Structure 1
Amino acid sequence: MSTLFLHGIGLLVTNDPATRGAREGDPLGAVRDAALIARDGEIVWVGPQADAAPQVARLLQGDVERVDAGGRAVIPGFVDSHTHLAFAGDRADEFVARMAGDRYAAGGILRTVEATRNASDEQLRSTLQRFERELASQGTTTFEVKTGYGLDVEDEERLARLAREVTDEVTFLGAHVVPPEYADDRNAYVDLVVGPMLDACAEHTRWIDVFCEEGAFTVDEAERILKAGLARGLGARIHAGQLGEGDGVRLAVELDAASVDHATYLSGDDIAALAGSNTVCTLLPGVEFSTRHTYPDARALLTAGVTLALASDCNPGSCFTSSMPFVIALAVRELGMTPDEALWAATAGGAAALRRDDIGCLSPGASADLVLLDAPSHVYLAYRPGVPLVLRVWKHGVELRVH
């Protein structure tokens, strides 16, 4: 039996409003001068340190790791619910061009497809493992990975299989763009996606996604593809509203998709539909930073009661950052979110976008995925942008090597 006893916590964010010692109605369930006990990878007690003595006597058994936080803050591990980490190649030149005034379009994806198809399994595996370490070093303990840079049966299957080696949250994105060999027969490519490609990828994946935008897939194509995935037992996600308004949000709500991602351009009807649904709206402000596009209106979404997540969208084209602290800083500075709202969206919101209740929070029964910040409060994630504040990270109660 392995036990973690973390004490001397200046501020403990649990994301559980019912936590002992938290202010009434505080969605972060934050407790000052707190302690935490985890056993065999699961949270078993959290609360004010003044109340910890009887719990310590009762629960601290077997091999105990005692950690004094020294007045620092502890938060749930970040949940990055949208990444494209399974790829090869480089597109730094596109970033330089955008900074010089070129406009982002979906077509650059095909450059990465070519490089990825030419990469070996070992090259792709090495890249995924490097990203896994990189995310952990910035406090991310759960992350999703999409396919979408293979766009043929063999390569989409191997991307899904390799991604499954580093995360349980793998998404089949055969409908990223139409590859050149099908440019003159889109219907044939959609047939391939919903047939042999889905057959090959389904066993490795939990989700299915579609890039439903001008230059990618129409809403009718997206509906067909998502329904095929749902019929195979996969959950639905959708890229929508990145480049302009469309019917992607409506489709996501109709299909009870777990999340609609990007959502930069939304109509009032879109916002109302999301507010009345179980679909999480995942904002990706790193994309707007990297493409010079308009930032989404988080305040309008929050005011309407929409559940928000924040994610990195780490990919080689439109947003090559894996840093959730950076995303939080952008959300506070550019999206108008408060530090509390941004932290919740990057943890509990990401968990909701993956339809998970065992992560993104630090309440009894949840996975012991937590981050010790070298700061007295989570506010410092936005207050000191770009500064490496992640001091120590635990996943399932086991400390990860992050330095």
Structure 2
Amino acid sequence: MRTLITNIGELTTNDGPAGGRGADVLHDAAVLIDDGLIAWVGSADGAAALGASADEVVDAGGRAVIPGFVDSHSHLVFGGDRAAEFEARMAGQKYAAGGIRSTVAATRAATDDELRARLRGFLDEMLAQGTTTVEIKSGYGLDLETEERLVRLAAEVTPEVTFLGAHVVPAEYADRADEYVDLVTGPMLDACAPHSRWIDVFCETGAFTVAQSRRVLEAGIARGLAPRVHASQLGPGEGVQLAVELGAASIDHGTYLTDADVAALAASDTVLTLLPGVEFSTRQPYPDARRLIDAGITVALACDTNPGSSFTSSMPFCIAVAVRDMGMTPAEAVWAATAGGARALRRDDVGVIAPGYRADLVLLTAPTRIHLAYRPGVPLVARVWKDGVPVS
């Protein structure tokens, strides 16, 4: 199947210098899709001769096209709801990691079919808003059986599955955190590794210490899983240094970073994934993305869809918040939500519109990508292609 999309007013390719600083845009452009991949990118005038060989020609009507969003941090497999917790937080109650345990009971009680149906619903939400690649973590089971179920269900819909058995210490292991780490790094890892690509840990006060986090990550690495780290969400800590030392693909949250953390990230290949929905929902201070980008850190944006601290699946919303409250330009935010997410997943086939990449594209009902931040809350996604196939 060959599809030509032409008369694109503004095409964001990300096929240029990293960071979305302007050299990644074509005007009056066209894209040829062939068998699920980008086959050609160029001017609309230059595409005229290709129309005859295409099975379908789509007129973009002068609107903007961007790569499909790459959401590199989500928790989509869970049961229950925490709306009451959100209401309490809006009334002044402080957010704490312990709220995760309230989701664990509901998730353990849910059937596979119930979890699967809810997961599909979230994925449909994401596709409708332009997300074509998504990472999914476990972490709401916290026992061997349920954690295995969560990664197995996630693996049905994405190759980007993260085993996060070390999310928090479950109630039945209260005051026995090291014994729980024994379970996570032993039988639980044995059950979950076959369904997972990544290993993750919440290295934070109220979750796991640096020593415990190291044990979890090194055990996962020994089983062939690549490391990611939740760190510096609730306060400064040593998680960033650990992530860089172990070559983690990303450190996620990074709300509280020291100068040493910034220097370490800037000198590494570890991506810093910022999660604007979390600060929006918890009323914590927003990270200073301007400081981080100017320091030379590769920044990604993700939704962190979860029932406790960020119950949004909208990457356009996260882009708008990042521009309004975190010091990013619209171009930088769109890059971070596409190519940046791909780098956080160490993917070289998505997040860019160039020959050989997967044909994951989003047609906006707007003339520029700026409108994603300029018109917050407005549904601007007109059409989505995943692997060259229209899905929304």
- 1:78 and 1:347 in contact (8 A); partners too: yes
Match for 1:238 among 229, 232, 236? 229
How many Å apart are 1:55 and its aligned residue?
4.5
TM-score (norm 1): 0.95
Query: Which residue of the other structure, out of 23, 46, 50, is the alignment partner of 1:51?
Result: 46
Whichever residue aligns with residue 207 of structure 2, its letter is A
Is 1:340 matched up with 2:331? yes
| Structure 2 counterpart of 1:372, one-letter code | L
| Aligned mate of 2:79, from 60, 67, 88 | 88
Instruction: Give the letter for the 2:47 counterpart.
Output: A
| 2: CA distance, partners of 1:55 / 1:354 | 34
After TM superposition, give the deviation of residue 187 of structure 1 in Å: 1.3
Amino acid at match of 1:10: G
- Where 1:211 maps in the other structure, the secondary structure is strand
Q: 1:29 aligns with which of 24, 29, 32?
A: 24
Please, which of 294, 300, 312 is the counterpart of residue 303 of structure 2?
A: 312
Percent pairwise identity: 66
- The residue that corresponds to 1:265 in the other structure is 256
Q: CA deviation at 1:188?
A: 1.1
CA contact (8 A) 2:33 2:388 kept: yes
RMSD, matched Cα? 1.1
C-alpha separation in 2, matches of 1:264 and 1:184 = 27
1:294 aligns with 2:294: no
**Structure 1 residues 50-108: Cα deviation after superposition (integer angstroms, max 9, x where no partner):** 22234556xx35xx121100000000000000001110000000110111111000000
Q: How many angstroms apart in 2 are the aligned matches of 1:204 and 1:126?
A: 19
- Please tell me whether the aligned partners of residues 11 and 33 of structure 1 are also in contact (alpha carbons under 8 angstroms): yes
1:236-288, CA deviations, whole angstroms, 9 ceiling, x for partnerless residues?
00000100000000000000100000000000000000000000000001100
Distance in 1, matches of 2:255 and 2:239, equals 12
Give the number of equivalent residue pairs.
390
| Pair 1:115 & 2:93 matched | no
Structure 2: give runs of 5+ residues left out of the alignment: none
SS of 2:107's partner is: helix
Residues 1:73 and 2:72 are matched in the alignment: no
Change (3 A) 1:359 1:28: farther
What is the distance in 2 between the residues matched to 1:28 and 1:279?
A: 24
Cα pair 1:134 1:322 within 8 Å, conserved? yes
What is the alpha-carbon distance in structure 2 between the residues aligned to residue 373 and residue 297 of structure 1? 28
State the alpha-carbon separation in 1 of the partners of residues 273 and 64 from structure 2. Answer: 26
Q: Measure the CA separation in 2 of the matches of 1:279 and 1:355.
A: 10
Distance in 2, Cα, partners of 1:178 & 1:258? 24
User: Which residue does the alignment assign to 2:92?
Assistant: 101
Contact kept? 2:21, 2:331, Cα under 8 Å: no
Residue of structure 1 in register with 2:37 after alignment: 42
Unaligned runs of 5+ in 1: 19-24
Shift of 1:337: 0.3
Which of 181, 184, 192 pairs up with 1:201? 192
Q: Do residues 391 (structure 1) and 382 (structure 2) align?
A: yes
Which residue does the alignment assign to 1:21? Answer: none
2:9 counterpart residue number: 10
For 1:11 and 1:257, locate their aligned partners in 2 and report how far apart those are by CA, in whole Å: 35
TM-score by length of 2: 0.98
Q: How far 1:3 moved relative to its partner?
A: 0.8
Aligned partners of 1:164 and 1:205 also within 8 Å: yes
